[in-house]
Amino acid sequence: MEYRNIAIIAHVDHGKTTLVDGLLKQTLELKHGEEIAERAMDSNDLERERGITILAKNTAVEYKGVKINIVDTPGHADFGGEVERVLGMVDGCLVLVDAAEGPMPQTRFVLRKAIELGLKPIVVVNKIDRGDARPTDVVDMTFDLMAELGANEDQLDFPVLYAIAREGKAFKELESPKDDFHELFDMVLEHIPAPEVDVEAPFQMVVTNLDYSEYLGRIVLGRVQRGTVKKGEFVQLIHKDGSMTKTRVVQPFTHMGLKRIEVDEVSAGDIVALAGIEDANIGETVADANNPEALPIITVDEPTVSMVFQPNTSPFAGKEGKFVTSRQLNERLAREIMTNVSLKVEEIRPDEFKVSGRGELHLSILLENMRREGFEIQVGAPQVIYREIDGVRHEPVEHVVIDVPEQHASTVIGVLGARKGQMVHMEPQGSRTRVEFKVPSRALFGFRTQFLSMTQGEGILSHVYDSYQPYAGDLKTRQNGSLVSMEDGVAFAYSIWKLQDRGNFFIDAGQDVYVGMIVGENAREQDMNVNVCKNKKLTNVRSSGADDALTLIPPRRLSLEDALEYIAEDELVELTPKSIRLRKKILNPSMRK
């Protein structure tokens, strides 16, 4: 059988998962009568809730007798580990670009990786039905971006398609629109090279992803580089240190649509799954038992941000979660490292783990998953990872793109300038302005909330890791102190009402609080200890009915990302399956002084 292996590259929300849905619908529903759910590739709960792709996944369709393996890649640079290993499985890519927004930072990140690997691109300009679409300008912008990233002549000579993925349409000529994806499929067969395969050579495959099945144990996924392997055949697993383990392929699988199909044999060029290879890790090679040869190990960019994870030690510990000990936390993090290649974990003390990842989002997704599984954990503020390069201290810098109404542009530029940002490009687009910056990663902690209030919720902010640059100097990103509870008990509406002019509260009346818990944000710079557990004294003169007139300002609800961005060095976020609370590291006010 002939194969084509392609990845879909795009910025968040430019429609790649929708495009894959359409490709599946038009090939499978017609041929196999299979029903395809909306956003079928985003299988994880968090992906569906946030509308983002976190895990790289693959699917396959058949067109004119050719099997096309399609890999959906995450757009966020935080999941760069996923992107880097996935691109090694494919020979070409569909670069999906919004017809109004053009290439954005995350398009840039994945595209740079694809160009370095020499993949052949096809540019798909999506959402051309938008009122503000400008497809020809967007194609020029994409060309400029590829040239800037060092694309060769062959890559720059890319074919272009115009699409409305939501309606299942893609076509070559703007003047003659079509009602299906046939022209897209034809272009893939014509422009994406078939994998160069040697079926007779000894079997060889690099593990690019891992899965787990309750019946079959660990399942390894990857593209077969050469040779074939049959069900029940023995193979050698070559570990990263060069040692080998002899093991047996219990069951090979190939993909069609969203299903894994059991087969007796898999061969070179196809993206497959093998069950029975228990000790495999990502980047290791599965090879022929008699002629084992290792493939190059996948390298993944180093982490840039770290946080300290601990079991929950607050007075409320153990009330809401199932897993509360450091042993359970250690086991869970050890399981995570197996599949999450760009994550690093080191034990600082017996119950403290330094977890390093590709960004705040990367780590917060892990925390959210653990919280849903029933863990109680507390984490410190995110810290960037510094590096010594030629004796000089360097820090990670992000490429930031903001798109704001023009009346807010100068305010945002001023604030980013104060946070050591350097403007690299500015372009007016109608009533909006697009500005690009290079900003130290640590300067962006806590910036998103401020940015949304500065632009009255109309700004679009996206950023992606750029490089390590010399340390930019000291920064003060947080202007306000915290309101900290000085009593244990239940928060009373009367106390909150009396303290409202001191700052914004994060808690409701009737909520349990403990000494050292952060209940709000002070309007001033320093922290302030407050008593929210004091009720109004009732006498003959003061009737209880007078309390009905209290009007409380609704509390500010913090999401997990908001909480991580808010906390200072001496504070922690406490996470349980039911609550997100903020607290001081040292709870006792007199010891804190």
Distances (CA, A) of 426 to 81, 401, 404, 410, 514: 31, 10, 11, 11, 49
Token couple for 251: 């069951």
The stretches in the chain having pLDDT less than 50 are 30-44, 46-56, 75-80
Taking alpha carbons only, the member of 508, 210, 560 closest to residue 371 is 560
Segment 243-256, tens digit of pLDDT: 888 888 888 888 77
Q: Say if 212 falls within a structural domain.
A: yes
State CA 526 to chain mean position distance: 34
The verdict on residue 300 lying in a domain is no
Q: Are residues 41 and 68 in the same domain?
A: yes
Residue 515 lies in a domain: yes
274 and 170 fall within a common domain: no
> What token pair was written down for 312?
């929950």
Query: Cα 220 vs. chain centroid, distance in angstroms?
Result: 22
Within this chain, do residues 221 and 272 fall inside the same structural domain, yes or no? yes
- Boundary of a domain, candidates 191, 218, 253: 191
Nearest to 136 by CA among 167, 160, 112, 153: 160
411 is in an annotated binding site: no
15 is in an annotated binding site: yes
Taking only the tens place, the pLDDT of each residue in 473-517 is 888 777 788 999 999 999 998 888 888 888 889 998 889 999 999
362 annotated to a ligand binding site: no
What pLDDT, on the 0 to 100 scale, is given for residue 355?
A: 92
Sequence letter at residue 535? N
Report the sign of the C-alpha dihedral through residues 308, 313, 317, 323, in that order.
positive
Query: Are 173 and 35 found together in one domain?
Result: yes
Note the pLDDT of residue 543. 56
Question: Per the annotation, does 91 bind a ligand?
Answer: no
Q: Element (H or E) spanning 565, and its range? A: helix 560-566
Cα distances (angstroms) measured from residue 220 to each of 130, 279, 281, 420: 41, 10, 8, 44
Q: Judge whether 127 is annotated as a binding position.
A: yes
Q: How far is CA 4 from the centre of its chain?
A: 27
- R_g (Cα) of the chain, nearest Å: 27
β partners of residue 4: 68
CATH of the domain at 123: 3.40.50.300
Q: Which residue has the tokens 């808690």?
A: 507
Instruction: Supply the pTM of this predicted model.
Output: 0.69
Q: What is the domain-level CATH number for residue 243? A: 2.40.30.10
Backbone angles phi, psi at 571, to 5 degrees: -125, 165
Q: Are residues 176 and 238 in the same domain?
A: no
* Among 337, 360, 386, residue at a domain's last position: 386
* Per-residue pLDDT, 55: 41
CB of 125 closer than 8 Å to CB of 27: no
The DSSP secondary-structure symbol of 26 reads: I
Q: What is the pLDDT of residues 395-404, one digit of tens each?
A: 989 888 888 8
Which of 232, 262, 288 is the endpoint of a domain? Answer: 288
Predicted pLDDT of residue 514:
92
My answer on whether 488 and 552 are in the same domain is yes
Determine if residue 455 is labeled as part of a ligand binding site. Answer: no
CATH number of the domain residue 358 falls in: 3.30.70.870
Asked if the structure places residue 488 within a domain, the reply is: yes
Contact of 30 with 168, CB cutoff 8 Å = no
**415 and 374 within one domain:** no
User: Which tokens go with 59?
Assistant: 């699917």
| 73 labelled binding-site residue | no
**How many structural domains compose the chain?**
5
18 is in an annotated binding site: yes
Residue 30 falls within a domain, yes or no? yes
CB burial string 544-563: b at 16+ within 10 A, e below: eeeeeeeeeeebeebebbbb
Q: What is the pLDDT of residue 426?
A: 86
Q: Domain with 585 in it: what CATH number? A: 2.40.50.250
Residue partners of 14: CB distance under 8 A and separation at least 6? 75, 96, 97, 98, 101, 104, 107, 126, 127
Annotated binding residue 126: yes
85 is a domain residue: yes
Asked if residue 403 and residue 336 are part of one domain, the reply reads: no
Determine, yes or no, domain membership for 476.
Answer: no
**pLDDT value of residue 286:** 86
- CATH number where 417 lies: 3.30.70.240
Is 404 found in the same domain as 382?
A: no
Q: Residue 142 annotated as binding?
A: no
Task: Let me know whether 24 and 117 are in one domain.
Answer: yes
Q: What's the one-letter identity of residue 107? A: T
Measured at the CA of 168, the angle between CA 60 and CA 98, to 5 degrees, comes to 95
pLDDT at 539: 65
Q: Per residue, what are the HEC states of 350-413?
A: CCEEEEEECCHHHHHHHHHHHHHHCECEEEECCEECCEEECCEEEEEEEEEEEEEEHHHHHHHH
Same domain, 23 and 70: yes
| Domain boundaries, position 409 | 388-470
Q: Is 126 found in the same domain as 12?
A: yes
The rounded distance, in Å, linking the Cα atoms of 22 and 342 is 31
Residue 373 falls within a domain, yes or no?
yes
